[in-house]
Chains A and B, each alone.
Chain A
């Protein structure tokens, strides 16, 4: 029962570097999401996808890019990392309808120094 798998778990980046957070799910879910979590702020939606080849911006998309070439994978790319991107990132997935539960990965802790 893998569910939603994220890698890496922890990463330290220097300002200006780029990296990709990987996310894969084995539940054949149409919908996938990337959230970031900052202390006292809850979770904010960065990008989401309703199916392969379709992505859309969430609440805080600046500084990030995504792609969805397959149903299973939804990588998040950070270009030109900034200290403001220090956060915990969560990937999630769900089936299509609003009543379905969204399932989360274990998180990726990113520090930009």
Chain B
């Protein structure tokens, strides 16, 4: 069965520092991987996805993610965090029936 794991419930980082939000996956076949962000009392917003090709994927708001097949990881990164990046981040994998399987989410807190 397809699954996604986000090992950290919360990540704390100072504004201006680089940030990483971790995600590992388990799929049979080619993975289709996604990152979404959720601000308080809002829906999920798409950030970026990996389908095929370049292992470094660039997305919205300066975020990027690195696909690593050998480590089955898809970590979300940003070179310089902003206070406004504080939100709940979800990693997800789309399975063979086109359903999106989500991780449990990681709360990113950026301190000024």
Contact = CB atoms under 8 A, between A and B. Distances in A.
- A and B associate: yes
Contacts of B102: 35, 42-43
Interface stretch (B13-21, B44-52, B67-75, B77-85): B44-52
A74 interface: no
Interface of B: 9, 32, 34, 36, 41-46, 49, 51-52, 90, 94-96, 98-100, 102-105
Which range holds the interface residue count of chain A? 20 to 34
A99 B32 contact: yes
Interface string A51-81: 0000000100000000000000000000000
B98 A94 contact: yes
Contacts of B100: 33, 43, 45, 92, 102
By secondary structure, the B interface counts as loop
A97 B98 contact: yes
A58 B99 contact: yes
Contacts of B51: 99
Interface string A28-43: 0001010100001111
Given A98-B94, A98-B96, A104 B103 contact: no
A86 B9 CA distance: 22
B6 to A, nearest CB: 8
7 closest Cβ contacts across the A-B interface?
A99-B51, A42-B102, A42-B104, A106-B43, A104-B44, A104-B43, A43-B102
Given A99-B32, A103-B46, A40 B9 contact: yes
